[in-house]
Structure 1
Amino acid sequence: MNKNLKSAIGTLSIVIILLFSVEGFSQDFKFGISAGLLNGSGKIKDETGTLSASNTGFYTGAFANIKLNEKFGLMPEVDYGNLNGNSSWFFSTRANYYFVPKFYVQAGPQVFLLSRSLTDDIKQAGIDAVIGAGYDITDHFHLQARYSFELTDRFKVDNGGTAKLNNLLVGIGYSF
């Protein structure tokens, strides 16, 4: 089995275990689905300069919304994304802070896994920092936007340059 796939399965297993552990402590626990716009950008920097590219596609996924109290919550999420036929997976757990009852900001870690490497020089898995915001329209629907900053270098070898992939996800979610 591919090392990156093992890592993603391990991360997903930890998230599932945490979900069931946190459920007993939460005031409000909901599962849901989400979908929306995915904008991905890549940047390669080396001694010759910088090369950038971006594409727009879609994402869809499943999440848990775990409200710990009136101000704090957790939102683990697994998303599938597609940009020009290139598939990817996002495994994130974000902490939500509610400024007012329906509006929140969020931040947390994310594992970003390409279904296949774009080139032989690029790693399939990366670690991101995610920030975002959301608005609960009703008890069941929410709007959300989040941006992920790649923390890892995607180059497989140290060639004096860096390769980073960043993503913007804007969408709607429905909680059961």
Structure 2
Amino acid sequence: MKKHYLFVISFLIFNASIWAQEVRLGVKAGLNVSNIDNNDPFYDENSNYRTSFHAGLFAEIPLNSKFSFQPELLYSSIGKVDKYDLNYRIFDLEPLGADSFKLVQKRNYLTVPLTFKWYVAERLYINAGPQVSFLLNTVSKAKGDDFPDSYEDAYKASGEFKLDYGAVLGVGFFINDDINIGLQYYRGLKDLFGDSDFDIIDRKAYHSVFQLTVAYSIF
């Protein structure tokens, strides 16, 4: 009986060592082009894409010759840029001297994509899966020509850790055994106004992010 146990344990250790050798661990970083889609025509028509970055770690775990599972841990900065063509005024109704201004909204997240990769060719793959994100901080800044410096920092908040979730769909290509490039789209499914106290306003907003990534397998 002891021999059987030793055989089973040896078999599991042997297979675990093979599995560990096949797991691909690495780092990745790239470009974010993000916006926030909403159903309010005023905010939607003034909303523009914001360019930023993402960076972090990944592990690719093979399931068979065609499929693998890839969990990731990334820092990702997204948001949007609102442009307004108007004469913005302070509370005493005196004009600020700026006929237009931009409101840059930065939302920095710790993201956890959990995607599955399907190798449609030797080096070409399609990836898809869910993603959960935790809001680390937000920064909103108003900028414009002749805009007073005292109005540059409109809003800052940190430690919010609010949850966002959505789905990822993308495609990628291995340049060689260690480096691959990927293009993917993230669509948020969590209403960003869901945590607001203004439930009487029928507004919904969701993250929309295009990502261009370079990944490098360390081992």
TM-score tier after normalising by the smaller chain length: 0.7 to 0.9
Q: Report the Cα distance in structure 1 between the residues aligned to 2:135 and 2:48, rounded to whole angstroms.
A: 16
Say how many residue pairs are matched: 152
Contact kept, 8 Å, 1:80 with 1:88, in 2: the verdict is yes
Matches of residues 40-119 of structure 1 in structure 2 within 5 Å? 40-46=34-40, 49-51=42-44, 52-83=47-78, 86-117=107-138
Does 1:125 pair with 2:167? no
Deviation at 1:138? Answer: 1.4
- Name 2:214's counterpart in structure 1: 172
For the aligned residue pairs, the C-alpha RMSD in angstroms reads 2.6
Higher mean Cα deviation, 60-69 or 86-95?
86-95
Contact 1:28 1:68 in 2 (8 A): no
- The SS at the match of 2:192 is coil
Q: 1:29 aligns with which of 20, 23, 26?
A: 23
- Please state how far the C-alpha of 1:50 moved relative to its aligned partner: 4.6
In structure 1, the gaps of 5 or more residues are: 1-22
Higher strand share: 1
The 3-state SS of whatever aligns with 2:65 is coil
SS of the equivalent of 1:100 reads coil
Question: What TM-score do the two structures reach when normalised by structure 2?
Answer: 0.62
Confirm or deny: 8 A CA contact 1:130 1:146 kept in the other structure.
yes
| Alpha carbons 1:117, 1:124 under 8 Å: kept | no
TM-score by length of 1: 0.75
Q: Is the 8 A contact 1:117 1:123 kept in 2?
A: no
Give, in angstroms, the shift of residue 86 of structure 1. Answer: 4.3
